């Protein structure tokens, strides 16, 4: 081989390698810049004040607790809706549905995954929240529950596609073994297939949670954005405000470098940490399951 | 298995029924959404609406600047994220050894995919707008969005590259091609359809995102076409939609939704 080609080869290899490592660089850069802009908040506001229950930045009350509880209650509500629907749909698609139904259902679910969340939020304002107001007789339909409904819809496609992959990956021989022992199809699904796909289903739920807690525009549009502490189940039907919506709504109007600005970045750090924890937990579940499978097969 | 066979059949029938009902409950709102949008917004689409400029404080007129803004943004995102994403995918599938560093890269990609979009917005604001002094611009917004789309492009492209049979590589190298020649002329060519899917999925995500560009490059109202790549703020379909609260005239805003629908149907 001629020399110039050889050099080119080395340079290209290095470039490709650098691109591979860039993913680590980006995560680190995101972390660094959040820290750079958000940590000063700890110097300007006492930590105990940050954990207070009053969020009213104009008068320098920076208690982020109502925002955290708002995010939590909306996410919990969303999961209560998305978990049964998502898993049931995944089981239906992968185990029960006849072929033609499957061919229709899968693209539909993918279509839902592709809809921009602003559009869902827009429909939420026009359809979901007026409906909730009249159906549940609430003072306003813009409530945490409306947010949960929309977030449920946003998390469902994630849960369905990952859970369905997991169910598909269960070897056919497991099912055949169960049938040979006289189990019905239903018993096979319930006691063999689902337990075998357990880790994938768990990952699906965790990533669904991650998707729901990080969603911004749709929740901002339908939850009413009142920063009140949400700790009783009843507050699911009252207006609430999430961390993401707070950042999106207030960042545009804040002077860069002010305390309010730093606190908004601090909320960003909290969100970043939550998504980091959820994703690392989700991938370690997969990793452990893979290890176990290798041990059994070897 | 202590039930009689008829009870077991009954349970199965009830269970299957329940599952199909739940599956239907999942897809019904999707169909409903699509019909609702087409019903209410379909009539509003006209050439004048698509090609006009907004007038009367966005209460009337068309959405051309928003379409152009979205187009610039998507192209800008593609310029940064497609080469980088494909190169990273090539590294992971063709070069990377199975060691701790590679695992770290994978964990980093999973985390990039999971970071909330509004946090990307904060990051873009901190790094591109303020630290690198790009200002709120197409450049800053595109860079932010390209980092956000990177994980989608990398993981889909890697799948596509991995699905190319190993024998193709072996044969190519045995006739004297170098590793890069093999990748460029054989593997990439074979994996191209899969890679394109990844690129489209990623850009679709970029074109539909709102939160990250709120602080990095969006203008609510712009009566002309955006004409400078780095200094002038530009409007965007998406921000039109989300600015709804400031301009509560619903009729005009409503027209945005079907436009999106067409957009996405074209993509899929």
ipTM of this complex: 0.82
| A257 shares a domain with A269 | yes
Question: Does residue A252 sit at the B interface (CB-CB below 8 Å)?
Answer: yes
Same structural domain for residues A191 and A154?
yes
What pLDDT does B229 receive?
Answer: 34
3-state SS assignment for residue A109: helix
- Is residue B181 a contact partner of residue B37, using CB atoms and an 8 Å limit? no
Residue B18 in domain: yes
Interface A–B counts its CB contacts (< 8 A) at: 240
Q: For residue B37, what are the domain limits?
A: 5-44
Q: What is the DSSP string of A112-179?
A: HHHS-HHHHHHHIIIIIHHHHHHHHT-S-S-SHHHHHHHHHHHHHHHHHHHHHHHHHTS-HHHHHHHH
More confident residue, B13 or A59: B13
Would you call B27 and A27 a contact, using CB atoms and an 8 Å cutoff? no
Instruction: Examine the pLDDT at B53 and tell me if it is beyond 80.
Output: no
Look up tokens 């009783």; give the residue.
A232
Cβ of A92 within 8 Å of Cβ of B22? The answer is yes
B140 in any annotated domain:
yes
Q: Which two tokens stand for residue A50?
A: 């940050």
Q: Looking at the structure, do residues A287 and A163 belong to the same domain, yes or no? A: yes
Is residue B110 domain-shared with residue B212, that is, in the same domain? yes
How far apart are the C-alpha atoms of B244 and B248, rounded to whole Å? 6
Higher-confidence residue of B251 and A100: namely A100
User: Is residue A1 less than 8 Å (CB to CB) from chain B?
Assistant: yes
Residues A34 and A46 placed together within one structural domain of the fold: no
Cα of A137 to nearest chain B Cα, Å: 22
Residue B226 lies in a domain: yes
User: Chain B, 21-60: which have a CB under 8 Å from a chain A CB?
Assistant: 22-23, 25-27, 29-31, 33-34, 36-37
Same structural domain, A16 and A157: no
Of residues B30 and B11, the one with the higher pLDDT is B11
Residue scoring higher pLDDT (B188 or B205): B188
pLDDT, residue A203, reads: 83
pLDDT: which is higher, A284 or B116: B116
Nearest residue on chain B to A220, judged by CA atoms? B242
Number of domains forming the structure of chain A: 2
Q: Which domain holds residue A13?
A: 3-38
**Cβ–Cβ gap A109/B119 under 8 Å:** no
Q: How far apart are CA A73 and CA B227, in angstroms?
A: 44
Task: Quote the pLDDT of residue B65.
Answer: 65
Q: What is the pLDDT of residues A81-129, one digit of tens each?
A: 999 999 999 999 988 888 888 888 887 887 777 677 777 777 787 778 8
**Nearest CB partner across the interface for A216, out of B95, B117, B253:** B117
CATH of the domain at B92: 1.10.3720.10
Percent of chain B with pLDDT over 90: 8
| Number of C-beta neighbours around residue A51 at 10 A | 12
Minimum CA–CA partner of A14 in chain B: B91
The answer as to whether B116 is a domain residue is yes
**Per-residue pLDDT at B264 exceeds 60:** no
Distances in Å between the Cα of B255 and the Cα atoms of A150, B44, B56, B195 are: 21, 6, 16, 33
If you average pLDDT over residues A158-184, what whole number do you get?
88
Q: How many CA atoms lie within 13 A of A76 on its CB side?
A: 12
Q: Alpha carbon of B88 to those of A14, A146, A185, B155: distances in Å?
A: 11, 40, 43, 9
Contact B218, A118 (CB under 8 A): no
3 state DSSP class of B55: strand
Give me the percent of chain B exceeding a pLDDT of 70: 67
What is the domain count for chain B? 2
Please report whether residue B99 resides in a domain. yes
Residue B239 predicted with pLDDT over 50: no
Nearest CA in chain B to A243: B118
- Same structural domain, B160 and B194: yes
Close Cβ partners of A56 (under 8 Å, ≥ 6 residues apart): A227
Q: Is residue B26 part of a domain?
A: yes
Residues A116-154 have pLDDT tens digits of 777 777 778 777 888 888 877 777 777 888 888 888 888
Same domain for B97 and B13, yes or no, is no
Span B66-95, pLDDT tens digits:
667 777 788 888 999 999 999 999 999 888
Residue B98 maps to a domain: yes
Q: Are residues A102 and A13 in the same domain?
A: no
Phi, psi dihedrals of residue A270, rounded to the nearest 5°: -60, -45
Say if residue B25 is in the same domain as residue B82: no
- Supply the pLDDT for residue B81: 92
């Amino acid at each position: 081989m001629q020399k110039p080609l050889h050099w080119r080869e080395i340079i290209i290899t290095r470039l490709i390698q650098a691109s591979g490592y860039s993913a680590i660089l980006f995560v680190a850069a995101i972390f660094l810049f959040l820290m750079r802009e958000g940590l000063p908040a700890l110097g300007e506001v006492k930590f105990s004040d940050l954990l207070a229950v009053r969020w009213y930045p104009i008068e320098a009350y920076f208690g982020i607790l109502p925002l955290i509880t708002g995010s939590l209650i909306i996410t919990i509500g969303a999961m209560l809706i998305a978990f049964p629907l998502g898993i049931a749909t995944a089981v239906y698609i992968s185990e029960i549905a006849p072929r033609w139904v499957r061919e229709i259902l899968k693209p539909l679910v993918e279509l839902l995954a592709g809809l921009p969340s602003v559009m869902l939020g827009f429909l939420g304002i026009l359809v979901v929240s007026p409906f909730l107001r009249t159906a549940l007789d609430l003072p306003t339909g813009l409530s945490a529950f409306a947010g949960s409904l929309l977030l449920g819809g946003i998390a469902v496609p994630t849960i369905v596609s990952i859970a369905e992959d997991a169910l598909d990956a269960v070897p056919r021989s497991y099912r055949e073994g169960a049938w040979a022992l006289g189990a019905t199809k239903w018993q096979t699904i319930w006691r063999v297939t689902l337990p075998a796909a357990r880790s994938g289903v768990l990952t699906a739920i965790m990533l669904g949670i991650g998707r729901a807690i990080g969603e911004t525009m749709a929740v901002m549009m339908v939850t009413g954005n009142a920063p009140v502490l949400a700790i009783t189940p009843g507050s699911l039907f009252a207006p609430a405000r999430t961390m993401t919506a707070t950042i999106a709504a207030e960042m545009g109007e804040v002077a860069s470098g002010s305390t309010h600005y730093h606190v908004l970045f601090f909320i960003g750090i909290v969100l970043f940490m939550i998504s980091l924890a959820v994703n690392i937990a989700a991938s370690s579940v997969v990793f452990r399951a893979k290890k176990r499978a290798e041990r059994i097969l070897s | 298995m202590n039930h009689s066979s008829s009870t077991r059949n009954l349970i199965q029938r009830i269970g299957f029924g329940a599952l199909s009902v739940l599956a239907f409950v999942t897809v019904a709102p999707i169909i409903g959404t699509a019909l609702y949008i087409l019903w209410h917004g379909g009539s509003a689409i006209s050439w004048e609406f698509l090609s006009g400029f907004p007038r009367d404080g966005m209460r009337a007129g068309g959405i051309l600047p928003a379409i152009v803004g979205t187009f610039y943004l998507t192209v800008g995102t593609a310029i940064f994220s497609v080469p980088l994403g494909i190169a990273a995918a090539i590294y992971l599938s063709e070069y990377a050894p199975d060691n701790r560093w590679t695992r770290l890269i994978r964990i980093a990609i999973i985390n990039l995919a999971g970071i909330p979009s509004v946090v990307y917005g904060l990051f873009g604001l901190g790094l591109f707008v303020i630290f690198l002094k790009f200002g709120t611009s197409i450049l800053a917004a595109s860079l932010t969005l390209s980092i956000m789309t990177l994980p989608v492009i990398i993981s889909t492209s890697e799948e596509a590259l991995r699905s190319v049979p190993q024998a193709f590589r072996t044969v190519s190298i045995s006739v004297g091609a170098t590793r890069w020649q093999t990748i460029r002329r054989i593997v990439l060519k074979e994996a191209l359809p899969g890679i394109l899917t990844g690129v489209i999925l990623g850009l679709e995500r970029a074109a539909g995102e709102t939160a990250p560009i709120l602080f990095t490059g969006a203008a609510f109202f712009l009566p002309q076409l955006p004409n400078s790549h780095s200094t002038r703020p530009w409007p965007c379909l998406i921000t039109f939609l989300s600015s709804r609260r400031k301009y509560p005239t619903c009729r005009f805003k409503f027209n945005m939704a079907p436009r999106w629908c067409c957009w996405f149907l074209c993509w899929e």
